[in-house]
Amino acid sequence: MTDERDSRADQLLGMHRRITRRDLIHGAGVAAAGLPLALSACRQEPGERFYPPTLTGMRGSHPGSFETGHALAREGREFGRGRDLNEEYDLVVVGGGISGLAAAYFYRQAHGESSRILILENHDDFGGHAKRNEFHQGDAMRLAWGGVFNLEYTEFSPVVHRLLDELGVDIERLRSRDDFNYGADGELGAATFFDAETYGRDALAPGFVLRHGDPARVLEQVDELPLSDESRASLRRFYMARKDVLAGQDEAGRTRYLRGTSYTEFLREHGELTDEAAELFVKTTHGYWGVGADSLSVAECEGAGLPMAHLLGGELTAGDGSVSGETTAFPDGNASVARLLVRSLIPDVTAGADNEDIVSAVFNYARLDEARSAVRLRLNSTAVEVAEEGGAVRVTYVQADEVMAVRARHAVLACYHSIVPFLVPDLSEAQSQAFRAQVKRPLLLTNVLLRNSEAADTLGVTGAYCPGRLHGAAWLVKGIETETYHHEWGDSGATVMQFWGAVDSGARGIDVRTQHRASRARLLEMTFEDFEREVRTVLDGMLGPAGFNAAEDILAITVNRWPHGYAYDYLDLWDPEWPPGEAPHEIARRPLGRIAFANSDAGAYAATQVAIDEAWRAVGELPG
């Protein structure tokens, strides 16, 4: 009986349907550009040009990108020396994300434009987490990002500013056309969606915002929330309280408490919230930090904009749910930065010379790995060993199940730190353990192309926090434009609804690295159908009352699955304060002969500017 009920529910959600060409509403630009049409199953028709940004279905760490790495690290498989390609390079870079691309860029500056460079990337696209999702099923091309998004320009070093200037990125120009604010752009601001499976009934609460929210608006709506009477009463008491729970403690004592107590423990003990009410706050930091508020300290959550000041002798300030801060972005996130780097390294890949046209430029992927080019970018290629040999570095990699090897004067590993001990046999035990300590936080970002935004427009919201669901938040992607790409808020046509967050391990109070590993296992076990059912369920519950039809109004789904997502940064509750130079990432990134190490892991912070700075450092540490 349950199976029949589930089957009927799937039919109503549209799970029985397969999105085909007959369902697509094509714009003339797709055919003119000769691009493939993205389908729901992440495949291409015979004869279509390979163009990864338009692929839908399971992306991010997609099938084919991680199996070799898992065989190496999990199963201990030995791949041997492989077939020597007799290719000699000045530099081999392992990892074609922003850090790896920046390392190639800086190396050319340091060693000459004629330097021969090979970049190996295990995915079928470059950019790493700076992933471009490009949709052509609506009246015009719609862009979204599949990972790294913000340009946090106030935190840029001189090195990062100089690189972006050289690439033609005009921060002020981008800012002038950036009107996106994580779901807080609608008539009624951001919202919270309470789902029936978790809370007994579907309920959308416009203006009810827990992070950076207006406490007065929260209090206005508490009585309407699908929570127990006890939980609603505890929320009212919490928001109305005005006291200093740490009165009498000196500054050192206050700091120890704020850095040594989890935010949810603080909510229960001093906010007097029920477990149900405290649980509402857990996923507020998922997309922001890659970890739940239950594993963050009070001090860390204060920086994340969560309510607490009124219990520490201060006042809650009214807000509108705005969380953007001093950042800006391209319409495809930092994928445009990766594209600018690739175009600089391999000019033949596309035409154009500035940051304005990069958003709409069409790349010729066949030009990425040409023998005549000084810089070559080899996709679908997973490194399995990097070792010094005979005064050079021998790099062995797997492509299409064949083991091959090349040689170079230098190597930069700009891949995940956790794989490095399995790649580099000559590491010391101390350095190997330091690499293993950098356990990335799983990240999930799913983009869903909707036929239109009419239901959201009717409801007056552009996004919602989803405390009971897999993704912690969802929002419409509009309002980020350039001279060659336009998608203003007034356009009610086809639009992307983005679902974003970390993956909850389901555990509470255990070591945070153990949580990340459990989250990773959960993420890898899920099928595309699991993600599809999830987003269809949320959209049906959230937008269905305003006329949205989950079976008819979803044009495409792209799941950006990142089991190795955010770089591990050190947390108050889980990590000590190491002496200068002795933190795991500082030990791990020490160069080893002709091999240097980049990636944001090397800076212990998940940000584009860190990835670039670490590339600069790594290239500078290579011997002559």
Same domain, 455 and 549: yes
Q: Identify whether the C-beta of residue 618 lies closer than 8 Å to the C-beta of residue 410.
A: no
Last residue of a domain, one of 566, 591, 607: 566
Q: Identify whether the C-beta of residue 188 lies closer than 8 Å to the C-beta of residue 178.
A: no
What are the backbone dihedrals phi and psi of residue 502, each rounded to the nearest 5 degrees, phi first?
-85, 175
Paired residues of 477 in beta bridges: 496
Biggest CA–CA distance in the chain, Å, is: 74
* Side-chain-side CA neighbours of residue 508 (13 Å): 11
Same domain, 237 and 117: no
* Helices and strands counted in the chain (H then E): 22, 17
Same domain, 430 and 578: yes
* Side-chain-side CA neighbours of residue 66 (13 Å): 17
Same domain, 177 and 295: no
Our measurement of the distance from residue 532's CA atom to the centroid of its chain's CA atoms, rounded to an integer in Å, reads 18
The 8-class DSSP code of residue 227 comes to: S
Same domain, 137 and 224: no
Task: Look at residue 564 and give its three-state secondary structure.
Answer: strand
CA distances from 24 to 59, 184, 359 (A): 20, 30, 23
Last residue of a domain, one of 545, 566, 587: 566
CATH number at residue 433: 3.50.50.60
Amino acid, res. 326: E
Helix intervals (H) in 501-545: 512-525, 528-543
Last residue of a domain, one of 311, 334, 353: 311
Does residue 153 form part of some domain?
A: yes
Does residue 24 form part of some domain?
A: yes
Does residue 591 form part of some domain?
A: yes
The 8-class DSSP code of residue 204 comes to: E
Same domain, 34 and 149: yes
Identify the helix (H) or strand (E) that includes residue 595.
strand 595-597
Amino acid, res. 455: A
Looking at residue 106, what is its pLDDT?
98
- List the domain range (segments joined by +) for residue 373: 67-126+368-438+570-621
Domain count, the chain: 3
Per residue, what are the HEC states of 19-84?
CCHHHCCCCHHHHHHCCCCCCCCCCCCCCCCCCHHHCCEEEECCCCCCHHHHHHHCCCCCCCCCEE
Looking at residue 504, what is its pLDDT?
85
Looking at residue 32, what is its pLDDT?
31
Q: Which two tokens stand for residue 161?
A: 């500013």
Same domain, 484 and 554: yes
Q: Strand pairing of 83-94 and 402-413?
A: parallel
Same domain, 560 and 583: no
Same domain, 451 and 540: yes
Looking at residue 321, what is its pLDDT?
56
Same domain, 372 and 472: no
Our measurement of the distance from residue 246's CA atom to the centroid of its chain's CA atoms, rounded to an integer in Å, reads 37
Same domain, 401 and 462: no
Our measurement of the distance from residue 596's CA atom to the centroid of its chain's CA atoms, rounded to an integer in Å, reads 25
Query: What average pLDDT values come out for the chain (624 residues) when binned by 10 residues?
Result: 62 73 32 34 53 96 96 96 97 98 98 98 98 91 95 96 96 92 85 97 94 89 97 97 96 97 97 97 92 96 93 80 75 97 96 77 96 98 97 98 98 97 97 97 97 96 96 96 93 96 83 94 95 97 97 96 96 96 98 98 97 98 95
- Count CB neighbours of 147 within 10 A: 25
Compute the residue count for the chain: 624
Alpha-carbon Rg for the chain, nearest whole angstrom, is 24
Looking at residue 543, what is its pLDDT?
97
For tokens 């959209």, name the residue: 539
Does residue 256 form part of some domain?
A: yes
Does residue 160 form part of some domain?
A: yes
Same domain, 302 and 273: yes
Does residue 281 form part of some domain?
A: yes
Does residue 232 form part of some domain?
A: yes
CA distances from 480 to 182, 240, 312, 406, 494 (A): 12, 38, 38, 42, 15
Looking at residue 44, what is its pLDDT?
46
Looking at residue 100, what is its pLDDT?
98
Does residue 282 form part of some domain?
A: yes
Q: Identify whether the C-beta of residue 537 lies closer than 8 Å to the C-beta of residue 529.
A: no
